[in-house]
Amino acid sequence: MAETSMGNQEAGAMGFWHRYRLLIVVVAISVAIIGWLYVSKGMAVRHVEEAAAAQRAELVKQAEARQTETVRQSLTMFGVPLAWAIRREMMADNLDQVDQSVTDLVKQKGFERVVVAKADGSVMVASDRKHKGAAFSRLYAERYLGAEQISAEETGPGKWLVVVPIMGLNARLGTVAMDYQAPASTLGQ
């Protein structure tokens, strides 16, 4: 009797496999396919997210480069009328007006320091009074005293040095140097 009940159990187990083997194989294959689809979908999503992040980073980089060039052009263009105004007052020996212009300029957002040097390199007007009479080369590179054109150089992230030569009719009258802090970019955030 023990043999019969054991035989029935084996036959029942074998009968279960034979009876449901197609269903078991289909379920196993379905689970494998669903798992593969889930993993491949996750990989595809991750790939798309990485590509989108790389594209965004490139677009931000390009926009920041355009913004930098726009700031450079704007500061350079600003230097033209500034040079005319300073030139007129220097030729008229009206240093009080130059001083007033410098004082008003540093009140404008972004302008941190303005220095006006004579052709010999001595500072005649400065937004920070302690620099008046000092050598220009103590504040800026001496090469700027010989600059022939208005220039705007980015000295650090968002920090600019604008150099404006002041030319008279026959000779150089002086040089204006301005430290400017551009507004922070919100592109990379």
Q: Which residue has the higher pLDDT, 82 or 39?
A: 82
Q: How far is CA 137 from CA 59, 126, 142, in A?
A: 40, 14, 5
Q: Which residue has the higher pLDDT, 6 or 22?
A: 22
Tokens of 27: 């379920």
For residue 185, is pLDDT > 80? no
Q: Which residue has the higher pLDDT, 20 or 55?
A: 55
For residue 8, is pLDDT > 70? no
For residue 130, the number of C-alpha atoms closer than 13 Å in the C-beta half-sphere is 2
Taking the C-alpha atoms of residue 175 and residue 76, their distance in angstroms, rounded to an integer, is: 14
Q: Where are the beta strands (DSSP E) in 99-138?
A: 111-118, 123-126
Prediction pTM value: 0.71
Taking the C-alpha atoms of residue 33 and residue 5, their distance in angstroms, rounded to an integer, is: 39
For residue 169, is pLDDT > 60? yes
Q: List, in order of start, the domains of the chain with CATH numbers.
A: 79-181 (3.30.450.20)
